Structure 1
Amino acid sequence: MTATTPPPLVHIDPSGADRHGEAARLRELGPVVRAVLPGDVEMWMVTDYALLADLAADPRVGRDWRNWGALRRGEVPEDWPLLSMIRLNNAMARDGLEHRRLRKPLTRTFTRARVERQRPRIEEIVTGMLADLPRHTGPDGVVDLRLHYAYPFPMQVICELIGVPQAWWPRFRELINTVIRADTTAEEYLSTQQERHERWQELFAMKRAAPADDLTSAMMAVNGEDGDTLTDDELEDTLWMLIGAGHETSISLIVNATRALLTHPDQLALVRGGDAGTWSRVIEETLRWDAPVGNFPARFPTEDIEVAGVRIAEGEAILAPWSAVNRDPARYGQDADRFDITRSDQRHLAFGGGPHVCIGPALARMEAAVALPALFERYPDLALAVDPAELTAVPSIFSNSVTSLPVRLGEPRLSTAD
């Protein structure tokens, strides 16, 4: 039976300053709420874990932005900055046969085996960056672990994997920042769209002239082998999705896990007293407790549906609040807000679900599984250099982390290589 009382209307804080407090308040308001995003664009939010998991797998709820009624009616401005996360020409934003066509070159090339082959290179990058960290220490003895470790490490890994020239890496990071930031202007959004298009076209020309052992060359080689050819625009958006998700989530995962351990000494003690497999529990609990993506847009019902007694009409947008559902007490119990690596149920929705589940969890988990233990082994006295309350959230509706992670390294434990 459809509810007669309208669901609550909530303005989402674009700064992300109190992500988990906001998530808790959303859950308290009910399993379905109406959210207002920057620019006064409205979307539904489903805050119940089980309901959102069901929606992710529901064939009546797709990801194709062309089904968004508000966009079709011109109610969403063409220069709305958050469109860059929604209006894409890749598998993330298509359904059914189109989704499978667009995903096929990626699944055929971005394989678990290809990811696993990166492990020696990933370990080499981590070793070099950890040895170099003291050089970035300021006069006060503090180093920003996000800026000098968590950011450059996955950015280098994904750019090398895709085949992006090293000279482009800093600019690609700046372009991606305009996508995830809540304060991006319309002018910045349009400029970013144009520049990234030009960069990818230049890269494609380079790879056509001189193919290399990288993902871009591999995808171009298999493109169209089965009669389904991706256009350059589709290939652009596929690689753009991969480079954005392939480093932004890993940055946040490494930062959030490090922060969690440094602020939960009892859990850090369990890690230090455990075996190598304990780190996988750290990673999964971080993905649940402090997911790298706080909210993820957007799904669109292709027919009217009912969720917890609330009617959501065909073509209305649904925002997935991973931060809210991954701490849902109905799923995890009354201690859902507690960081606990011994938790029996560590399953989560940090990588989404259904046919549009993220394609990169193997890489993200591998990067964290190398970067985190190596960090704490190299710097056993690692400690936060500020009160945790002083850390500033990334100003984003989507990305969930902090803008910096100031730490004191302490004396390094030297390896045999030193």
Structure 2
Amino acid sequence: MDDRTGTPHLLDPSGGCPHAANARLLARGAVAPVVLPGDVEGMAVLGHEALREFLSHPDVAKNAAHFTALREGRIAEGWPLLTFATVPGMTTADGDDHRRLRSLVSRAFTVRRVEELRPRVVELTDSLLVGLERAASADGGVADLRRHFALPLPMGVICELLGVDAGYRDRLHHLSSQVVATDIGPAEAVAANRELVAVLGEIAADRAERPGDDLTSGLIAARDEDGDRLAPQELIGTLLLMIIAGHETTLNLITNAVRALCGHRDQLALVRKGEASWADVVEETLRWDAPVSYFPFRYPVRDLTLHGTLIPKGTPVLAGYSAAGRDPAAHGTDADRFDVTRPARPGAARGLSLGHGAHYCLGAPLARLEAGIALERLFTRFPGLDLAVPEPELPRHSSFVGNSVRTLPVRLGTPAAY
């Protein structure tokens, strides 16, 4: 399909690297028509300024009651993106409902509360580095960094916050991966969603029976004390959101940052010389290779013209974070270059990949903390760490939502002496 013709862009359900297609679409304009799985018509907002405006526009909603095709019965039960549209919780709520749901968990993710987690994140990171080295020693010096390090760190932290027993974690990640996959079949999609809801129900029942000093217990108390504050289905929806967003985003962020540094040793050298910080690495990775590529959904509540393009009322719209991060109009003609010393351009933040406006990612401070600690301690302990296979051979996510690779085999090299 020629992206210059104005023909709607067919999003590949099997995922892949988004950046070449993003560049072609951006050359056409800041907003593009797209075809979602099942031949569902949608739009994607790709330009940085257009996305910034769209994410906080007063005539744009998150509630799927505004999704015309869904309301008219034209969306099948097994549609792979249905959970994004219909899960009860703050990501599909507007106005007072959104503020009510967000207030129940927001205090756990303030900058101060997150900073209090630093010692535990450091402790968990160091223990995982020992396990990573052990895995590499057992396999000729190569280990899957994603499996042994980038995944268990954020999954461990979010599950501890929620009071989820360790025995659930592998199952939760597997089911989460299926929920965010866009190439999954209808029967598999339905089964994965039902099983995930059932598992979260088990976790909630366990916390109700054995409450503790954790966020799930607090949510259950809010539900039981005042049913108007949190309906039962909203409890499950909130847990689903927090587990998926609480580990998948940071997992991709750490993975993408390691890939970027291994492919740009000059940038790693700048950090080691003190000319850039690990926080700079995190911010540039968020911009240059956003952990989420196209996030579903928002819906205009009236016909909306955005940067010269009409988005009809009720259209499902994707937030094109990976495209906005490399938009030359916002980040300069070298927007596709990874540069940890890149200053923010006047009037533009480095990126929007953790959202903007009322639905800005609650877990952004935690994601930044975890990624910064993970990268600093990883490259300090293993200064010679490098990819074990060429970057083009890394298998990509089977999704146009998540943006990363499925495995990350690395050679650790000789550990630094402590």
Q: Which residue of 1 aligns with 2:244?
A: 244
**RMSD of aligned Cα (Å):** 1.8
Deviates more, 1:86-95 or 1:370-379: 86-95
1:353 aligns with 2:352: no
Q: Is the 8 A contact 2:159 2:243 kept in 1?
A: yes
CA–CA distance in structure 1, aligned partners of residues 286 and 5 of structure 2: 33
Q: Is the 8 A contact 2:17 2:403 kept in 1?
A: no
1:296 aligns with 2:299: no
1:407 aligns with 2:373: no
Q: Which residue of 1 aligns with 2:74?
A: 75
Q: Is the 8 A contact 2:77 2:190 kept in 1?
A: no
Give the number of equivalent residue pairs: 410
User: How far has the Cα of 1:204 moved from its partner?
Assistant: 2.1
User: How far has the Cα of 1:223 moved from its partner?
Assistant: 4.3
1:343 aligns with 2:380: no
Which amino acid in the other structure matches residue 133 of structure 1?
A: L
Deviates more, 1:238-247 or 1:98-107: 98-107
CA–CA distance in structure 2, aligned partners of residues 22 and 348 of structure 1: 19
1:145 aligns with 2:145: yes
Q: Which residue of 2 aligns with 1:282?
A: 281
The list of structure 1 runs, each at least 4 consecutive aligned residues, that deviate by more than 6 angstroms after superposition, is 224-227
User: How far has the Cα of 1:8 moved from its partner?
Assistant: 3.1
Unpaired runs of 5+ in structure 1? none
CA–CA distance in structure 2, aligned partners of residues 202 and 219 of structure 1: 15
1:84 aligns with 2:83: yes
Q: Is the 8 A contact 2:110 2:365 kept in 1?
A: no
Q: Is the 8 A contact 1:297 1:318 kept in 2?
A: yes
What is the TM-score when the length of structure 1 is the normalising length?
0.94
User: How far has the Cα of 1:195 moved from its partner?
Assistant: 1.8
What is the TM-score when the length of structure 2 is the normalising length?
0.94
CA–CA distance in structure 1, aligned partners of residues 226 and 210 of structure 2: 23
Match runs of 1:2-17 below 5 Å: 7-17=6-16
User: How far has the Cα of 1:6 moved from its partner?
Assistant: 9.3
Q: Which residue of 2 aligns with 1:160?
A: 160
**Residues 1:33 and 1:8: Cα distance change in structure 2 (over 3 Å):** farther
Which amino acid in the other structure matches residue 415 of structure 2?
A: P
Q: Which residue of 2 aligns with 1:64?
A: 63
In the TM superposition, what whole-angstrom CA distance separates every residue of 1:93-146 from its partner, at most 9, and x where no partner exists? 011111112222112444434322322111111111112212212544211111
User: How far has the Cα of 1:196 moved from its partner?
Assistant: 2.1
Which amino acid in the other structure matches residue 184 of structure 2?
A: T
Secondary structure in 1 matching 2:154: helix
User: How far has the Cα of 1:306 moved from its partner?
Assistant: 0.9
1:397 aligns with 2:379: no
Q: Which residue of 2 aligns with 1:326?
A: 325
User: How far has the Cα of 1:186 moved from its partner?
Assistant: 1.3
Which amino acid in the other structure matches residue 154 of structure 1?
A: P
Q: Is the 8 A contact 1:7 1:32 kept in 2?
A: no
Secondary structure in 1 matching 2:9: strand
Q: Is the 8 A contact 2:132 2:148 kept in 1?
A: yes
Q: Is the 8 A contact 2:151 2:251 kept in 1?
A: yes
1:208 aligns with 2:208: yes
Unpaired runs of 5+ in structure 2? none
In the TM superposition, what whole-angstrom CA distance separates every residue of 1:222-257 from its partner, at most 9, and x where no partner exists? 447677421111011111101101100111111111
Deviates more, 1:64-73 or 1:176-185: 176-185
CA–CA distance in structure 2, aligned partners of residues 132 and 393 of structure 1: 24
1:262 aligns with 2:262: yes
